[in-house]
Chain A
């Protein structure tokens, strides 16, 4: 066996974004020993990039808000495929989780009466997102990070987990390598929390970073966990489209929350057409009513730009397809127009959306206080994830394995509402940490077999020992995968394309068997990309398999060969699991009967 370092923890948390940090803090406070691993430096995870805000029914900006309304909004947004228990816990606990941050040093923007301010976002009935300008994620991750460094947590930065260890059914730790030195590390742990985030790098145009290769999803899957709802990928309607170097970078929904409107090349506010039935009663009829909503008139209804993301993304795609797009294939997003209503609009925009102002000024040469932005859909978020128990966050089929944050499935159903991720991280990060600590205390004995270590080492070292042949270099294969997913499993899907995608994926997988990076072990991104690519291929396959199976359009999943939403398809989730022969199996899992009390809330809220 090659050399490796052995590290032991009661609870091992994989991922140091909001979910992982919150889990680690909770586990440490239960008195168990905690290790925290991340691929980047501490504080650089995706959570740092979140802009718009964190959703919680604090009722500071509108006292009519309550957990019940938040719950109903989340279920409606998810087209009722959500794990309703998670949606309930999320809505109930998010306010406390957000308030708690203030005691750890967070400074959210304030209301005139000295409380945390809240802003409008798509699909939320009331202004619900606590925020700091458009850098809420930075506030959140820094608060958690700065709090965590005074807890008893061992942080392993720039370490990538490559495989999970098991002892029988239960989890037993993880195999990892140090990105800097290339040294192998064997983590032995009584419980493992997955908090690895999303899978956006499976697509060409994405708001996600190199980290988002679906590691947690894939590792858990290969360790026997189930994945749920993998067909649901959120394409955020507003990514940058020009210049090419910034394509996909996010333009926060906060722009629309602050009054930004969408127009086509004919200058038409096209969002007023085709309002979906679920939202007809709650959407403004006129631009004038929409503006009144933005400035807080309680009798006004939401402007159509604040409909859910799946709908807005589809509408933009339609405009472009029908020849009414912007010069570089998007739509116009205009916030400058608010000068018609606000005196010092320039200062107002810079104050509310400072990083958007900066981003467009520096990267696109556009002054958003004066000109419209060009925007189009970008792969943003995966609703699907590791299937967990709603209360404990333990994976349904692997004792001791927990999941929280973007890599866990269930809360968001077919479509996530903006702001519901940051709150998800806090609520379920805490729960995962709490129950992982408990599991570790109650199930202390396990072993990690030498065989497992040897297999993991052999796998990990393989690409390094092979040359990056022209055809099987990791960057080349990654680019091919991204292109095929973008073209065939993206925002508009159909059976034929998905079938092709599936076949091409299997071919790609075969080529990747002999993928080589060459180079040395120390800080070698070619090698790292090669190893991550296996995870990316697993999650891409899961997305394609689930998308093929769902023959309807619902939430973020659009089938151009099955445009309508079908009632009977709203009664189950797709669950994917590795079969005994290693093949990917998919099945329909009926959604458990919702509690009467929750059903009543949904009906009351309409």
Chain B
């Protein structure tokens, strides 16, 4: 069994620092296993979130050696263990304690986005006719596990702190999921421009790179949404039609 050093950020909203822990690594250990071992044996009160331990719930987001990662899906063998491994909380959100951050802002933003609005059902049993082909695109967005790693890495939030004006990549994925749902008739295009701050995204694609679900956030969600905004803003006829329809 190998031993490795983990430097874990300990502290709260008043500040904190890295503390070193030695961990015995068993076969296949992921970073979350190391954190759990520290918690059980050396620091009972170390705060960390987790649930599924299999990359399905999006609870265990943190920055491992400076990279936004799910701790449960980061194998220790894939890290350079000759150096201490640093583990710290997501930096874009206020820290509560140790590795746990206050992500409540994300929940507020989501609630502010106009809800799913289906057209009347077209089947006898109250459902809708949709083929696999019709649902494939939004299904990609529905893979999102709300780990908020994309939010963590996006410079508009991380460096420019534009939380009041910019909803962030997660919420563009969420909005795209409804906009591209074949039965949704809601219209979120104006709010994407005016309230959700889609225009601040300059397509750096950092969000796509960190998404553990492999969602092509920029290419498949953000760019098509930007196109819709542009079409609407630059096409007075389309805008007129949408007004007449009561859009």
B residues with CB within 8 A of A: 12, 26-30, 33, 39-41, 44-59, 73, 75, 96-98, 100, 102-104, 107, 110-111, 115-116, 118, 121, 123, 125-132, 134-135, 138-139, 142-146, 174, 177-178, 181, 183-184
- CB within 8 Å of B: which of A55-89? none
CB within 8 Å for A102 and B127 given contacts A180-B96, A209-B51: yes
A519–B97 Cα gap in the complex (Å)?
A: 13
Tell me if A110 counts as interface (CB < 8 A to partner B): yes
- Residues facing B in A377-415 (CB within 8 A) are none
Distance from B67 Cβ to chain A, minimum over Cβ atoms (Å)? 15
Q: Is the CB of B59 within 8 A of A526?
A: no
B30, B44, B58, B129: the one contacting A525 at CB < 8 Å is: B44
Measured as residues with beta carbon below 8 angstroms from the partner, the interface class of chain A is 35 or more
User: Does A123 make an interface contact (CB < 8 A)?
Assistant: no
Chain B residues near A245 (CB-CB < 8 A): 26-30, 33
Chain A residue nearest in CB terms to B112: A149
| Cβ-defined contact, B47 with A135, below 8 A | no
Among B47, B127, B129, B139, which residue has its beta carbon within 8 angstroms of that of A99? B127
State A45–B59 Cα separation when bound (angstroms).
Answer: 10
- Which residues in B have their C-beta under 8 angstroms from that of A99? 125-127
Q: Contacts of B134 on A, CB cut-off 8 Å? A: 110
Q: Which residues of B contact A468 (CB under 8 A)?
A: 44
> Considering the complex of A and B, which 5 residue pairs feature the smallest CB-CB distances, nearest first?
A243-B28, A526-B44, A519-B45, A523-B47, A114-B129
B52–A209 touching, CB < 8 Å: yes
Query: In angstroms, how far is the closest chain A Cβ from the Cβ of B164?
Result: 20
B51 and A110 contact, CB distance less than 8 A:
no
Q: Is the Cβ of B56 less than 8 Å from the Cβ of A525?
A: no
Whole-angstrom CA separation of A136 from B75 in the bound complex: 26
**Could you tell me the distance between the alpha carbons of A518 and B50 in the complex, rounded to whole angstroms?**
22
Within 8 Å CB of B102, what residues of A? 180
In the complex, whether A362 has a CB less than 8 A from a CB of chain B is yes
- Bound CA–CA A115/B128 (angstroms): 8
Residues 106-147 of A contacting B (Cβ, < 8 Å): 107, 109-110, 112, 114-117, 132, 135, 137-139, 142, 146-147
- How far, in whole Å, are A100 and B41 apart by their CA atoms in the complex? 47
Would you call A48 and B57 a contact (CB within 8 A)?
yes
Tell me whether A345 is interfacial, beta carbon within 8 Å.
Answer: no
CA A494 to CA B15, docked complex, whole Å: 54
Q: Is there contact, CB below 8 Å, between A363 and B73?
A: yes
Contact A103:B126 (CB < 8 A) given known A42-B107, A150-B111:
yes
Interface string of A506-520 (1 = CB under 8 A from B): 000000000001111
Q: Decide if B39 touches A525 in the complex (CB within 8 Å).
A: yes
Show 10 residue pairs from A and B whose CB-CB distance is below 8 angstroms, ordered by the A residue.
A49-B51, A49-B56, A109-B132, A114-B130, A135-B143, A138-B56, A243-B28, A245-B29, A468-B44, A523-B47
Q: Once the chains are docked, how many angstroms separate the CA of A107 from the CA of B181?
A: 8
A residues at B contact (CB < 8 Å): 40-46, 48-49, 95-96, 99-100, 102-105, 107, 109-110, 112, 114-117, 132, 135, 137-139, 142, 146-147, 149-150, 157, 180, 209-211, 242-246, 249-250, 355, 358-359, 362-364, 468, 473-475, 479, 517-520, 522-527, 529
Question: B96 — which chain A residues lie within 8 A by C-beta?
Answer: 180, 522-523
Residues of A within 8 A of B29 (CB): 243, 245
Q: Which residues of B contact A363 (CB under 8 A)?
A: 28, 30, 54, 73, 75
Q: With contacts A48-B57, A103-B126, A245-B29 known, is A110 near B121, CB below 8 A? A: no
A110 to B139, CA, bound (A): 11
Shortest B160–chain A CB gap in Å is: 25
Q: Are A132 and B57 in contact (CB under 8 A)?
A: no
Whether A105 contacts B52 by the Cβ 8 Å rule is no
Contact in complex: B47, A525 (CB < 8 Å): yes
Q: How far is the CB of A147 from chain B (nearest CB, A)?
A: 8
Chain A residues whose C-beta falls within 8 Å of the C-beta of B115 in the assembled complex: 146-147, 149-150
Write the nearest CB–CB distance from B93 to chain A, whole angstroms.
Answer: 12
Is A41 a contact partner of B49 (Cβ separation < 8 A)?
yes
Chain B residue nearest to A137 (CB atoms) is: B56
Tell me, in angstroms, the Cα distance from A96 to B30 when the chains sit together. 42
Contact A527 B30 (CB under 8 A): no
Complex interface: chain A residues within 8 A of B53 (CB):
209, 246, 249
**Which of B12, B116, B127 contacts A146, CB < 8 Å?**
B116
List residues of chain A with CB within 8 A of the CB of B98. Answer: 523
**Which A-chain residue is minimally distant from B45 (CB atoms)?**
A519
Least Cβ–Cβ distance between B23 and chain A, in angstroms: 12
In the complex the two chains form, is B131's CB within 8 Å of A244's CB? no
Please indicate the chain B residues that have their CB under 8 angstroms from the CB of A479 in the complex.
40
